Amino acid sequence: MRRLVWCLVVIVGLILVCGCVQPAPQPVPPATAVPDTVPAPTHDPSVLRQVNFTVTQAGPYLNVTIIGGPDATDMVSMNMRITNQNSQNVQRTINNPIIGMPYVFTYRGFADASIVNIVGTFSDGFQQTVLMYYL
């Protein structure tokens, strides 16, 4: 018991003599302001982009294919929304779309799409509706 008390006295004494071993707090640098501006597009937004598509519907399939256009290779993604005759929406985002590759939507029974809407995003961040197709 005596040794335990003596050990506790030594430990408390060491703590008082040594003090706190944490480093002194460092001043926090001031926050830098982030500009609220968006970089200017490299393409004139008043000039619409042109990407050409084919849309075919056969049996249970709806095929959407990029067939070219002057700005097709500049498109980095496309957000496809298909509105069906029963008002159900199907949405799919395609990153790095490939010219000539069919993007297939499969239905149970017959395909009943009524509207195909595609919004393309281009390499400079510009977004535009590139297809609004009514079936």
- Domain spans of the chain? 52-134
- Tell if the pTM clears 0.95, that is, is over it: no
- Whether 82 and 115 have beta carbons less than 8 Å apart is answered as yes
What does the block give as tokens for 124? 């400079």
pLDDT confidence of residue 7: 63
Rounded distance, CA 126 to CA 31, Å?
A: 30
- Whether 3 and 11 have beta carbons less than 8 Å apart is answered as no
- Whether 53 and 98 have beta carbons less than 8 Å apart is answered as no
90 phi and psi, to 5 degrees?
Answer: -120, 130
The residue type of 92 is R
Q: What is the pLDDT of residues 25-34, one digit of tens each?
A: 666 566 555 5
Q: What is the pLDDT of residues 32-84, one digit of tens each?
A: 555 555 555 555 666 899 999 999 998 999 999 999 999 999 999 999 999 99
Q: Residue range 103-121: average pLDDT?
A: 91
pLDDT confidence of residue 95: 96
CATH superfamily of this structure's domain 52-134: Immunoglobulins (2.60.40.10)
Q: Where does the pLDDT of residue 108 fall: very low under 50, low under 70, confident under 90, or very high at 90 and above? A: confident
